[in-house]
Amino acid sequence: MNTVVDNQGISRGEDDDQEDPASGTPNNGSSNEQPRKAIQSVEIGVRVLKALMDCGKDGAHLREVAEKSGLSRSQTHRYLLAFVNTGVVEQNAQSSRYALGAFAVRLGVAALARVDPVQIAGNHLASVLEELQTTGLLSVWGNYGPTVIRWIDGGIPLFTSLHVGSVLPVQASSTGILFLTHCQRVLTQPIIDSERAGGLVIDDKELEVQTVKAREMGYASTLGTVVPGLSAVSVPVFDPDNKLVATMSILSRVQDKNFYTKPRIERIRAAAIEASRAIGWSG
């Protein structure tokens, strides 16, 4: 039986959290003691996950996670192994780095989906995509930048590496341009710096031209800059405080040059305005 130390410095066996089959209450070794209000191992596991999140989107080695979580390497490794086995964390076979896994993405998406603004925007997007018979996506600002939280297929199939959980480049995507346009630079600058360190560099003057245009036109567009052969038009969704809460994007193949007609663009803009007003925006 492994031993852990509780918040009062008392050593307890991990098996102490098991329920007493007869009573249905935690068996803590004494009938006079109150049941423990939490399972400490779960709380420690969350500390490990938080530490992993703080290490950045490229993941981290065991020692980094251990340092940030304040645990020993052996204890950290046991928790990480459990998370790997359940899909919450994944480990790169080449670099041995740990990063959040597919199940963690699903948890995050499920949590975001419960937020009313996201649900409202998603419903409006689904409606306009059905009308236009095309594919689209809904994105919000995540820890690593604009993140796809909903993907809706429709119309002609599009072959792309994009999926729920994908992080879009701030400098090179229509979604990213909208976040640059409507969010404070203190939020977006760290992501810009990270992209530039990775080799994606777009001049500040060019970014300013694009953000001014996006503000004037009410939308942003890109032509094959994120995924070759794929073009996109994105529109902003605002909350009651006039803050950008999500972006709605419609996608098409670059070869379909006549897809983005003025009526289609106005329709997706109208859908975003309707969603914003349903959320409480008064603009």
Residue (of 79, 75, 70) closest to 51 by Cα position: 70
Residue 40 identity: Q
Q: For the whole model, what pTM was predicted?
A: 0.67
Residue range 3-102 in CATH 3.10.580.10: no
CA 220 – CA 41 distance, rounded (Å): 47
> Can you give the pLDDT of all 283 residues of the chain as single tens digits?
444 444 333 334 444 444 433 334 444 444 444 545 667 888 998 999 998 888 877 788 999 999 999 999 999 999 999 999 999 999 988 899 999 888 888 887 777 666 688 889 999 999 999 998 899 999 999 988 999 999 888 766 676 778 888 999 999 999 999 999 999 999 999 999 999 999 999 999 999 999 999 999 999 999 888 888 889 999 999 998 999 999 999 998 888 878 899 999 999 999 999 999 988 898 7
Task: State CA 97 to chain mean position distance.
Answer: 20
Domain range annotation of the chain: 3-102, 106-279
CA 96 – CA 101 distance, rounded (Å): 14
Name which CATH class applies to 106-279: alpha beta
